[in-house]
A and B are shown apart, each in its own frame.
Chain A
Amino acid sequence: METLKTIYVNLPYILEGTYVTVLLVVGALALGFCLGVPLAIAQVYGSPIIRRAVGLYVWFFRGVPILLLLFLFYFGLFNVIGLNLDALTASGLVLGLASSAYQSQIFRGSIQSLPLGQFKAGCALGMTDRQIIKNIILPQALRLSIPGWSNEFSILLKDSALCFAVGASEIMARAHFVASRTYEYLPLYITAGFLYFLITLAGIRILRRVERKFAIPGYTLSV
């Protein structure tokens, strides 16, 4: 009884954390997308030097644990360059940069899975490389990327809990805060877990709907 009351009383506070988490994840995914697409294009179509540079970027962000990246940027790099960011913005930035590395590889895989003939046909019609990438390659590659991208969403959502370590006030931080004050550890962590569960479910449903909306008629057997 007492337990339920604790949860009930603190629920609005934790739910506010849900809003923070969603904001963090949507922001990071958006940043990751905006950087990931050009990175993928650069890695497929760029000169050897550009491809090498993208490779290094991806290697760095995929090679270091997210928690370390958060500390490195928030306590280290941002201070050194005199960038004064609040914990939430900094977390979003770091998660977004890391996500861009993962997303770029999702998009690269899709671009490279398209038949070479698609590019050739555009060329043969006199289109420029830029026109071909924008009008022929990306519309197809992005569609193919949705399943992989929904994977990236669910991983990033759970990585966002790490931002608690630099003081972003998201679900995990709030649940832990209430738990350590009331000593109701188990119920509050279960509540937090349940919220992550719901967000995952909602996100994956939305992406599924997007996938269906943009499906090319006749192209896949079932979506």
Chain B
Amino acid sequence: MTTLLSVKNISVTLGNRKILDNVSLDMHAGDLKVLIGPSGAGKSTLLQCINHLITPDEGEIHLEGKKINTQSNAELCHLRQNVGMIFQDFNLFDHLTALDNICLALVKVRKLSKDEAQKRARKELDRVGLSNRAGLYPAQLSGGQKQRVAIARALAMQPKILLLDEPTSALDPELVGEVMNVIQDLAKGGMPMIMATHQMDFVRSLATEVLFMEHGTIIEQDTPKVLLADGAKTRTLDFCSKLNNLKGCEL
């Protein structure tokens, strides 16, 4: 099996605190890895290190077996084109319509013509069920719709891997479903993903591996079946049952 992406011994220090401590992981075709862990564990930091939105102090990123030279802007650009990113708070470009949000990078980075870009953008909007919202601006969309546009924007670049940072945690509960459906379809379609999420149903049914993070390191790493088995003495199960109890209180 070829390795799509490997993260090798990444460390990040901010101030005098180690935010990430020697983290490594490998992504293969069809992998769906889920990051779970308490707030402040370093999940967002890890995801942003993978496409170098945050520059790690140590460690390497390899894309399809080739080490990324992080001094070279062209190589960084290449890495980011192949690794799509979905943010917790969407980060749509506020001054552009849904369609133009998707087209911008297609024209500027992928160098498509305007027509080709629009054609591809419409196809992606259709895939996330928003073909009738192409002309609306972010401020005119609901949270769930914004996140679906953001997903379409990332997919339009035809990335080989998708990074998702708690894509549904900024959404009202009734909007979570529409976004999770899109992500589920992607997962079933075989898109390799690394996703920070606390959507346990999704984790149990689709994740190929669960990485439990705490204090900047991965402390448990196995299939959801093993880590979340009834009665398993794992930190993951402990954390997730607390999560469930919390949800129970809220309801």
What is the chain A residue whose CB lies nearest that of B85? A124
For B107, give the chain A residue with the smallest CB separation.
A135
Q: Which of B91, B139, B140 contacts A117 (CB 8 A)?
A: B91
**Residue on A with the closest CB to B54?**
A120
Q: Does B219 contact A (CB under 8 A)?
A: no
- Given contacts A125-B80, A125-B109, A125-B157, whether A218 and B92 have CB atoms under 8 Å apart is no
Assign chain A's interface to a size class.
Answer: 20 to 34
> In B57-81, which residues have CB < 8 Å from any A CB?
73, 77-78, 80-81
Does any Cβ of B come within 8 Å of A165's Cβ?
Answer: no
Bits for A113-151, please: 1 = Cβ < 8 Å to B, else 0: 001011011111111100100011001100100000000
- Set of chain B residues within 8 Å of A216, measured between Cβ atoms: 94-95, 137, 139
B147 at the interface (CB under 8 A from A): no
Known: A117-B89, A121-B87, A219-B137. A143 touches B95 (CB 8 A): yes
- Which of B73, B80, B93, B136 has a CB less than 8 Å from the CB of A124? B80
Q: In the complex, A118→B85 CA distance in Å?
A: 13
User: By CB atoms of chain A within 10 A, which of B48, B81, B108, B157 has the most?
Assistant: B108
Nearest B-chain residue to A120, judged by Cβ: B53
Interface core residue of B53, B73, B95 (most chain A CB under 10 Å): B95
The answer to whether A135 touches B108, judged by C-beta atoms less than 8 angstroms apart, is yes
Q: Which residues of B contact A125 (CB under 8 A)?
A: 80-81, 104-105, 109, 153-154, 157
Across the interface, name the chain B residue whose C-beta is closest to A114: B94
Q: Are B105's CB and A120's CB within 8 A?
A: no
- List residues of A whose CB falls within 8 A of some B CB: 115, 117-118, 120-128, 131, 135-136, 139-140, 143, 216-219
Known: A125-B109, A127-B109, A131-B108. A217 touches B53 (CB 8 A): no
Residues of A close to B87: CB separation below 8 A: 117, 120-121, 124
Measured between beta carbons, the chain A residues less than 8 angstroms from B51 are 124
Q: Does B84 contact A (CB under 8 A)?
A: yes
Which residues of chain A have C-beta atoms less than 8 A from B138's C-beta? Answer: 218
> Which residues does B use to contact A, with CB under 8 Å?
48, 51, 53, 73, 77-78, 80-81, 84-85, 87, 89, 91-95, 104-105, 108-109, 136-140, 153-154, 157
Name the one of A128, A136, A139, A217 contacting B139, with C-beta atoms under 8 angstroms.
A217
CA of A5 to CA of B77, assembled, Å = 72
The smallest C-beta distance from B22 to any residue of chain A, in angstroms, reads: 24
Chain B residue contacts of A136, Cβ below 8 A: 93, 95, 104
A126 and B95 form a contact (CB under 8 A): no
CA distance A216 to B80 in the complex (A): 28
20 A-B contacts (beta carbon < 8 Å): A117-B91, A118-B94, A120-B48, A121-B87, A124-B51, A124-B154, A125-B104, A125-B109, A126-B109, A127-B104, A127-B109, A135-B104, A136-B93, A140-B93, A140-B95, A216-B94, A217-B136, A218-B137, A218-B138, A219-B139
- With contacts A124-B53, A136-B93 taken as known, whether A217 is within 8 angstroms of B140 at the C-beta atoms is yes
Q: Which A-B residue pairs are the 10 nearest by beta carbons?
A: A218-B139, A121-B91, A125-B105, A117-B91, A124-B85, A218-B140, A126-B81, A126-B80, A219-B139, A126-B109
Which residue of chain B has the shortest Cβ distance to A141 in the bound complex?
B95
- Is B77 within 8 A of A126, CB to CB? yes
Contacting residues, chain B, for A115 (C-beta < 8 A): 89, 91
Residues of chain B within 8 A (CB-CB) of A118 are: 91, 93-94
Q: A residues within 8 A CB of B92?
A: 121
Which residues on B sit within 8 Å (CB–CB) of A128?
A: 73, 77
For B157, what are the chain A residues with a Cβ–Cβ distance below 8 Å?
Answer: 125-126
Which residues of B have CB within 8 Å of A131? 108-109
Q: Which residues of A contact B48 (CB under 8 A)?
A: 120
Complex Cα spacing A126 to B80, Å: 5
A136 → B minimal CB distance (Å): 5
